[in-house]
């Protein structure tokens, strides 16, 4: 498939959804040229949303982080995280008790904003275990892997409680050459040890796309075919967009590279409508 | 958990979603007493929808089948199938070519209604293979397992094309004691042989719930908390309803039985809001 | 890695183990030139054994088949099949009852030679089910896939009995371009449907290598380093030989081809000591 | 199945193989009464071997540990570890370079005794990476999970080298109620992240059984039916013994308990010849 310039197709759409990592930012920070492109989209009065598989921070903190990195116009309401989907589930389905979590204190805001108490898994004891009503995998940081993964296994052997994976991504790039195991990778280890399947949130599930779609200005009365999803990962961004019925653009600035994209598209059968080197081309 | 009478909670909801197999019908046909319950729901002016993981027949044919079995009031527009989700994907994403399928001619209507040509996998030849643009697993009947599963493996080894599983259920009951491998089980065999993951439709993905929700009368202006999903399977009906944010009722008239439900709820962590023996209690 | 001529290294070894399919025969029959090579090995007084993942026929019938195809010197005692390993297990561990099987009548000889009764799965009924003491997956032929795979699932849902996979291979080539799902692929489908793991026989498990090693003439007093395993499949022949501690030669006349071997060796980390185009080079 | 007294059947056998953890020792140390039973076996002149899925320490150190705990008669030559199988593989197949490992310095003796250099994964750098010729998972201790699991993933993304799992057990008990993820669990996480399958050693593979069998005194001329394997885990000890063709005794003093053994035997189809509460009964 031939590469298309992202800028040349913007005007065909009435709303644009962007993945964050590998599209807007990478391991070094904001991708060079992105703020200008975002302004170009805003100048065309095209609503944009960022759909990110992450529960590391709330949209307010995520927006502040983007702003510090030069994306001054971004608003919290434009950011949809898989953590928000997990939060809605907790709000709807966990009526009482304390929620144990793996992740940072910052990520635990998703639990606390569900009006539930939150404690890190390291603080679960024989005394307070009876009160634990759910377990959430939020982030791969903020805890000691040497102890807390085993503590999670043992909590879940003793208590059969709803267990939520707020970000199902298995790895993420940390340098040009290196990756780190992500929340979803740790959750999968625990699932495999226990022989259980947890409740997963994030793309490619239709939920985040639906949420973003419903939050678009009602007066625009948009059809799905008027929306473009832009992402760097075939099995989350592109598959999810394809299933939701919106157009999809694969960028080669993250997980999928110039040398691998043709093989990956062939081997997965997940076919984007367009391919660009990045959103700044 | 204690059992609740379905009839005693109907009035709490402004819309009701029902799974089909194990809730409305079973391997012997219409579950005794169901038509009367459906009339009771209608008399309360509560909209109902049937959400079924099936691509065996279109809603029109499915409605006729219900009507023949005594559910005279059911309308095609009240039936949402996973096959409809697959059809929308085909319509949106497959622009040309012929779609190969495993299933009955009746099921192939989902492809033909997408304005695509359909041929059973048995008719794919060296001559017409170049024209095949997608593969769909529709049903476990209508083809010869001795030849056509291998033919599917070989087509997909030669052509990297979008491959769609229009019903991801792995088994279904055929008598009180026996099950049959369903479409999703056959698809999983082929995925495992090829080392590929196909594009799956059906509960627990949010898509069918969203579609049903969007098709409810707009003037009712329903909130999700006003809707009840009723199903017999924890990891499709109940997990899907829980994730979509609606209330859930597990019935013990199908896949989940009186002797197994407590163990299954504990071992999966998928917890319904209510449990009933069936919808006729 | 560079290719080596098989003939040039024969003399380095005091015994040679050959895989059958992809090494000695292929889908068209005996590979051209193989009988002459086998004679050359015999002229050097080097014992040879054929180690094959197959339970389709006993060594006596397998030897007759080779002889009909031009390998006149081969003896049943030179053929070691995974079916023989399954037979030893049945002899040792199943003391009574009838063994149900998927496969041909010819393959069922492995059960009958264990002094057990054998019936095809299609003949299991409500009446005789109580007497079934084990289930064996023997071959992918000799039964009707439309009915008998489901019958196997239902037998094993009703009876918890030792279940044996006498050949774990998942696919085999049937033409230059096409494959067929093999016994191990069918077994894996049933394992996945039931959530159980069966008892598997065949390479890469050390068992067949050990059996072949123990049957070599005792007076030769061979060390493992004096034996060469020749095979066309990395994860059975080469991994098994490597783990058993004998030298390994990968041939490119079957599952692994000239265009794929370097990628496969890199991606698996299973590294043969030598690589040849075939044993006739 | 009824329970048998281990002592009452000892005399039926001419050699006895014991698993270590859950049979001879548990998380508190030597199981009370075991030294007396071992002496009883010795007094009957029955050779015994300990077959343990462990690469934490060499047989010499393992024997010293048993001796410190009161099993004074045990000899290093009576201990067969999965680490020894990995060591033989390294000796046979890795001809040069440095072997990276996850585990303790003590465990790395298995690499060094193969006449290879060993470095912990934490010490692999851009400079010395070119020299790494294999990777070994030895133990779940001796490294920092926060960094070294990711370092392993990244090494194996950059280098396609033989990767060995010297102990495939996924969990082990650390108290009456708690387990810890074992070497095989960590390895499985890395396999899943990379989409690769490593080379695994340990029961139920026949290799350790074969090694133990071959090291028995030759003058005894033992048949397999004269040997008893005693273990606490169905899918390693009992399945491995059953496949090797020796008799098997399940003890309920470790992984398999009085309350779970009947369900586990039924659900796995792995059937021991005898069951005892422990070896001291």
pLDDT given for residue A124 in this prediction: 98
Measured between CB atoms, does D143 come within 8 Å of chain C?
no
| Interacting residues of C66 by C-beta distance below 8 A, sequence separation 6+ | C24, C25, C30, C74
The SS3 assignment for A126 reads coil
Q: Residue range D178-195: average pLDDT? A: 95
Tokens of D236: 């390693």
For residue A52, the cross-strand partners are A81
Cis amide linkage into residue B204, ω under 30° from 0: yes
**Looking at beta carbons, which residues of chain C come within 8 Å of B157?**
179
Q: What is the pLDDT of residues C140-152, one digit of tens each?
A: 999 999 999 999 9
Separation CA D10–CA A255 (nearest Å): 60
* φ/ψ of residue C227, rounded to 5: -115, 145
Task: Establish if C16 touches chain D: CB-CB under 8 angstroms.
Answer: no
A residues 155..174 contacting B (CB < 8 A) = 160-163
User: Whole-number mean pLDDT of chain D?
Assistant: 95
How confident is the model over B170-187, as a mean pLDDT?
A: 94
CA–CA distance, D266 with D278 (Å, rounded to integer):
20
Measured between CA atoms, how close is A70 to chain B, in angstroms? 35
Q: Quick check: B149 and C189 CB within 8 A? A: no
- Cβ–Cβ gap C193/B171 under 8 Å: yes
Cβ distance of B177 and C170 shorter than 8 Å: no
User: Does the pLDDT value for residue B1 go beyond 80?
Assistant: no
Mean pLDDT of all residues in D122-146: 97
Q: Residue A130 corresponds to which tokens in the numbers above?
A: 């009876």
A160 or B226, which is more confident?
B226
Q: What are phi and psi of B59, to 5 degrees?
A: -55, -35
Q: Which two tokens stand for residue A168?
A: 């199902």
* Cβ contact, residue pair C239, D267, below 8 Å: no
- Please write the tens of the pLDDT for every residue from A69-98: 999 999 999 999 999 999 999 998 898 999
| A89 chain-B contacts, CB cut-off 8 A | 242-243, 245
Under 8 Å between Cβ of C89 and C53: no
pLDDT of residue B267 exceeding 90, the answer is no
Put simply, the answer to whether C181 touches B189 (Cβ < 8 Å) is yes
Which of B205, B245, B266 comes nearest A206 by C-beta? Answer: B205
Token pair 């077994």 in the structure block, residue: C187
Looking at domain D83-200, its CATH architecture is 3-Layer(aba) Sandwich (3.40)
Model ipTM over 0.90: yes
B93 to chain A, any CB pair closer than 8 A? The answer is yes
Query: Could you tell me which of B22, B21, B13 has the C-alpha nearest to residue B48?
Result: B13
Q: Among the residues of chain A, which ranges form H helices?
A: 6-9, 34-43, 59-68, 82-93, 109-112, 145-158, 183-194, 207-214, 239-244, 261-268
Got the DSSP string for chain C? -----HHHHGGG-SEEEE-SBTTTEETTEEPTTHHHHHHHHHHTT--EEEEE---SS-HHHHHHHHHHTT-TT--GGGEEEHHHHHHHHHHHH--SSEEEEES-TTTTHHHHTTT-EEEEGGG--TTTGGGEEEEEE--SSSS-HHHHHHHHHHHHHH----EEES----EEESSSS-EEE-HHHHHHHHHHHHT---EE-STTSHHHHHHHHHTS-GGG---GGGEEEEES-IIIIIHHHHHHT-EEEEESSSSS-TTTHHHHHHHH----SEEES-TT-
pLDDT at A195: 85
Contacting subunits of C (3+ beta carbon pairs below 8 A): B, D
Residues A90, A111 contacting (CB under 8 angstroms): yes
Residues pairing with B119 in the sheet? B100
HSE of A89 in the Cβ direction (CA atoms, 13 Å)?
31
Q: What pLDDT is stored for residue A176 in this prediction?
A: 86
State whether residue B214 sits within 8 Å of chain A by CB: no
As a whole number of Å, the CA-based R_g of chain B is 19
The position carrying tokens 């055929």 is: B174
Give the pLDDT band (50/70/90) at residue D268.
confident
Q: Which of A145, A158, A173, A190 has the most D C-beta neighbours within 10 Å, making it the best mutation to test the interface with D?
A: A145
Of A160, A268, A270, the CB nearest to B269: A160
Q: Rounded CA gap, D183 and D166, in Å?
A: 8
- Tell me if the bond preceding D204 is cis, omega within 30° of 0: yes
Tell me whether A235 touches chain D (CB under 8 Å). no
Mean pLDDT of D245-265: 93
CB proximity list for A58: less than 8 A, separation 6 or greater = A76, A81, A83, A109, A110, A113
Q: Do A178 and D144 touch (CB under 8 A)?
A: no
Closest CA to D48 of D21, D74, D16, D71: D16
Q: How confident is the model at residue C263 (pLDDT cuts 50, 70, 90)?
A: confident
Q: Give the DSSP letter string of A227-240.
A: EEEEES-IIIIIHH
SS3 B229: strand
- Quick check: C10 pLDDT over 90? yes
Which chains reach chain D with 3 or more Cβ–Cβ distances below 8 angstroms?
A, C
> How many CB atoms are located within 10 Å of the residue A233 CB?
24
pLDDT tens column, A1-60: 789 999 999 999 999 999 999 999 999 999 999 999 999 999 999 999 999 999 999 999
Mean per-residue pLDDT, C39-63: 97
Does residue B164 register a pLDDT over 80?
Answer: yes
Per-residue pLDDT for D1 more than 80? no
Mean pLDDT over C176-189 rounds to: 95
Tokens of A97: 């008790």
Determine contact: B197 vs chain A, CB below 8 A: yes
pLDDT of residue B204: 94
Pick from C240, C247, C249: nearest CA to C222:
C247
Within a 10 A sphere around the Cβ of A226, how many other Cβ atoms? 16
For residue B76, what pLDDT is reported?
98
Whether residues D245 and C210 touch (CB distance < 8 A) is answered with no
Is D52 near chain C, with CB under 8 Å? no
B221: left (phi over 0), alpha (psi -120 to 50) or beta: left
Kind of pairing, strands A171-173 and A179-181? antiparallel
3-state secondary structure of A57: coil
Q: Which residues of D233-250 are buried (b: 16+ CB within 10 A; e: fewer)?
A: bbebbbbbbbbbbbbbbb
Delimiting residues of CATH 3.40.50.1000 domain(s) in chain A = 6-53+203-276, 83-200
Give, in order, the Cα–Cα distances in Å from A212 to each of A39, A51, A207, B176, B200: 20, 8, 9, 44, 22
Inter-CA distances, D215 with D15, D17, D39, D78, D212, Å: 11, 12, 21, 9, 5
The kind and range of the H/E element at B135 are strand B132-137
Q: Chain-centre distance of CA C126, in angstroms? A: 34
Residue B238 C-alpha, separation from nearest chain C C-alpha, in angstroms:
20
Distance CA C105, CA A204 (A): 48
| Token pair belonging to A251 | 């960028």
pLDDT band at A197 (very low <50, low <70, confident <90, very high): confident
Cβ contacts of A68 within 8 Å, gap of 6 or more:
none
**High-pLDDT (> 90) share of chain D, %:** 90
For residues B169-174, average pLDDT: 93
Distance CA(D198)–CA(B73), nearest Å, equals 59
Give chain B's mean pLDDT.
95
Q: Is C122 on the interface with B (CB under 8 A)?
A: no
Token pair belonging to C210: 């050990």
**In this structure, are strands A163-165 and B79-81 parallel, antiparallel, or unpaired?**
unpaired
Of the candidates B171, B186, B274, the residue with the CA atom closest to the CA atom of residue B231: B274
Q: Which residues touch C219 (CB under 8 Å, ≥6 apart)? A: none
Distance (Å, whole) CA B94 – CA A30: 35
pLDDT at B260: 87
Q: What is the CATH number of domain A6-53+203-276?
A: 3.40.50.1000
Nearest by Cα to A72 from A32, A36, A23, A106:
A36
Q: Which of C197, C205, C267 comes nearest D196 by C-beta?
A: C267
What's the pLDDT score for residue D73?
94
- Average pLDDT for D76-103: 95
| DSSP string computed for chain D | -----HHHHGGG-SEEEE-SBTTTEETTEEPTTHHHHHHHHHHTT--EEEEE---SS-HHHHHHHHHHTT-TT--GGGEEEHHHHHHHHHHHH--SSEEEEES-TTTTHHHHTTT-EEEEGGG--TTTGGGEEEEEE--SSSS-HHHHHHHHHHHHHH----EEES----EEESSSS-EEE-HHHHHHHHHHHHT---EE-STTSTHHHHHHHHTS-GGG---GGGEEEEES-IIIIIHHHHHHT-EEEEESSSSS-TTTHHHHHHHH----SEEES-TT-
Contacts with C178 from chain B: Cβ below 8 Å: 150, 154
Give the closest of D146, D150, D170 to A193, CB-based: D170
**Given CB atoms, is B97 within the 8 Å cutoff of chain A?**
no
Residue B210, number of CB atoms within 10 A of its CB = 20
Residue of A269, A271, A273, A274 best to disrupt the B interface, most CBs of B under 10 A: A269
* B contacts of A88 (beta carbons < 8 Å): 245
Please tell me the predicted confidence (pLDDT) of residue D264: 87
Q: Which has the closest alpha carbon to A254: A166, A171, A168?
A: A171
Q: List CB contacts (< 8 A) between B85 and chain A.
A: 243
Closest Cβ–Cβ partner in C146, C150, C178 for B154: C178
**Residue (of A202, A206, A203) closest to A243 by Cα position:** A206
Distance CA B36, CA D178 (A): 52
Look up residue A31 and give its DSSP letter. Answer: P
């Amino acid at each position: 498939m031939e590469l298309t310039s992202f800028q040349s197709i913007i005007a065909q759409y009435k709303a644009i959804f962007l993945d964050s990592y590998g599209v807007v930012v990478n391991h070094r920070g904001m991708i060079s040229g992105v703020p200008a492109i975002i302004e170009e989209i805003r100048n065309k009065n095209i609503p944009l949303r960022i759909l990110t598989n992450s529960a590391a921070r709330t949209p307010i903190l995520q927006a502040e982080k983007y702003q510090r990195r030069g994306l001054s116009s971004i608003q919290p309401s434009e950011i949809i995280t898989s953590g928000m989907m997990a939060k809605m589930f907790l709000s709807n389905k966990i009526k009482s008790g304390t929620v144990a979590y793996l992740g940072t204190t910052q990520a635990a805001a998703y639990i606390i904003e569900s009006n539930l108490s939150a404690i890190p898994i390291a603080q679960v004891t024989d005394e307070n275990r009876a009160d634990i009503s759910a377990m959430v995998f939020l982030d791969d940081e903020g805890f000691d892997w040497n102890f807390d993964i085993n503590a999670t296994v043992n909590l879940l052997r003793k208590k059969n409680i709803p267990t939520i994976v707020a970000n199902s991504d298995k790895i993420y790039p940390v340098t040009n050459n290196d990756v780190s195991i992500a929340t979803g990778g740790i959750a999968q280890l625990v699932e495999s040890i226990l022989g259980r399947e947890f409740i997963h949130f994030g793309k490619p599930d239709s939920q985040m796309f639906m949420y973003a779609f419903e939050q678009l200005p009602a007066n625009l009365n948009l059809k799905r075919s008027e929306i473009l999803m832009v992402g760097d990962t075939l099995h989350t961004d592109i598959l999810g967009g394809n299933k939701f019925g919106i157009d999809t653009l694969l960028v080669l600035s993250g997980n999928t590279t110039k040398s691998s994209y043709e093989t990956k598209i062939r081997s997965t059968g997940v076919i984007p409508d367009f391919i660009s080197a990045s959103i700044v081309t």
